[in-house]
């Protein structure tokens, strides 16, 4: 088998390819991300950025304490983030645990939210510690229940001990399960990958194995979507597009809590990958608290005075 004519999927070919990737200039990446974070986005640009960010949010609830009621409330908010303002776009997707997919899909369909996809975190999220059969079954379950996007986690233990073939095969198999029924997002948990070099390697590994999206984190480990990590991943999708003509999306998740953080991410996308990535099709932000802050900033721009969390829903 050949993947883009670059690797054949064997351990040896993967090692060869990944080892010839240039190392990340750590100081340079951090300085570049910090420099881009100082861009000042105001007035009409800010307004555009807020609406764009809302349309890119994967509105997420991944708690052990999730209830069907909470998931339904989340879906309602996803379709119409602020019921008093119909000019606000729906969010990019609703992201829930596997057993909540059916509840979310049914509720979305019943309230006129057919256009909002449901993303499921599969493959023994968040640790990824389960047998391959279980991971495949997990994924199949989610797709059967109506998930249009699968967020899978990689086996970080295998990756860190250099078993790239194992990680690659897992992604390929989950890709097969998804087929053309679901988009595949591959989560690296960059907080556990330790170095930027590893983030770059994991990005190429996932893209070659057929990921539609590469995603930073589960949200369960800090640090999560730091700007330099996102920068490295955006560089990877940009260069991969140049190599293969296939555009892969990026999803930072975890730690993006306010409008300023979100706008920083959009600046990173525009300046690194390019404006073609500035759509929900190729850039998503995994978040829960962020949406309220975006709504409050939008209120501030409309009303001219500072908003209060009392005027947005809690979940």
Q: Which two tokens stand for residue 111?
A: 């309230």
- Please, which residue, 48 or 311, has the CB nearer to another protein? 311
Give me the active site residues, please: 151, 215, 251
Residues binding another protein (CB under 8 A): 304-311
Shortest distance (Å) from residue 291 CB to another protein? 17
CA–CA dist 211, 171 (Å, integer)? 8
- Please, which residue, 223 or 309, has the CB nearer to another protein? 309
Shortest distance (Å) from residue 6 CB to another protein? 48
CA–CA dist 75, 83 (Å, integer)? 13
Alpha helices in the chain (DSSP H): 11-19, 26-36, 43-56, 68-79, 101-110, 132-144, 156-160, 164-178, 190-193, 196-209, 227-244, 259-272, 289-303
CA–CA dist 139, 152 (Å, integer)? 8
- Please, which residue, 133 or 306, has the CB nearer to another protein? 306
- Please, which residue, 245 or 310, has the CB nearer to another protein? 310
Shortest distance (Å) from residue 296 CB to another protein? 9
- Please, which residue, 180 or 303, has the CB nearer to another protein? 303
Number of CB atoms found within 10 A of residue 67's CB: 12
59 φ, ψ to 5°?
-70, 120
CA–CA dist 22, 206 (Å, integer)? 17
Shortest distance (Å) from residue 267 CB to another protein? 19
CA–CA dist 7, 92 (Å, integer)? 33
Q: What stretches of 7-141 adopt beta strand conformation (E)? A: 57-60, 93-97, 118-122
**Shortest CA distance to 260 belongs to which of 285, 236, 234?**
285
Number of CB atoms found within 10 A of residue 148's CB: 18
Shortest distance (Å) from residue 260 CB to another protein? 11
Residues in the chain: 315
Q: What is the CA radius of gyration of the chain?
A: 19
Contact call for residues 189 and 217 (beta carbons, < 8 A): yes
Shortest distance (Å) from residue 83 CB to another protein? 18
- Please, which residue, 136 or 312, has the CB nearer to another protein? 312
């Amino acid at each position: 088998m050949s993947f883009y004519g670059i690797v054949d999927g064997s351990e040896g070919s993967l090692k060869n390819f990944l080892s010839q990737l240039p190392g990340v200039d750590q100081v340079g990446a951090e300085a570049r991300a910090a420099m881009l974070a100082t861009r000042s986005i105001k007035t009409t640009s800010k307004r555009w950025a807020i609406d764009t960010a809302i349309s890119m949010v994967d509105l997420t609830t991944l708690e052990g304490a999730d209830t069907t009621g909470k998931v339904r409330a989340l879906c309602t908010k996803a379709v119409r983030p602020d019921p008093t303002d119909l000019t606000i776009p729906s969010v990019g997707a609703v992201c829930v645990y596997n057993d909540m997919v059916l509840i979310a899909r049914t509720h979305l369909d019943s309230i006129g939210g057919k256009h909002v996809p449901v993303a499921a975190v599969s493959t023994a999220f968040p640790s990824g510690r389960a047998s391959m059969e279980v991971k495949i079954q997990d994924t199949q379950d989610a797709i059967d229940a109506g998930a249009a996007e699968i967020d899978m986690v990689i086996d970080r233990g295998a990756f860190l001990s250099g078993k790239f073939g194992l990680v690659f095969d897992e992604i390929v198999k989950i890709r097969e399960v998804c087929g053309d029924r679901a988009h595949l997002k591959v989560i690296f948990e960059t907080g556990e990958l330790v170095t930027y070099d590893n983030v770059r390697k994991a990005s190429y590994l996932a893209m070659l194995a057929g990921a539609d999206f590469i995603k930073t984190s589960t949200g369960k480990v800090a640090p999560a979507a730091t700007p330099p990590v996102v920068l490295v991943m955006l560089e990877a999708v940009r260069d991969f597009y140049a190599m293969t003509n296939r555009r892969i999306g990026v999803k930072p998740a975890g730690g993006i809590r306010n409008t300023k953080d979100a706008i920083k991410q959009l600046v990173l996308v525009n300046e690194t990958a390019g404006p073609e990535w500035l759509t929900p099709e190729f850039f998503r932000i995994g978040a829960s608290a962020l949406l309220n802050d975006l709504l409050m900033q939008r209120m501030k721009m409309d009303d001219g005075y500072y908003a209060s969390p009392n005027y947005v829903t809690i979940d």
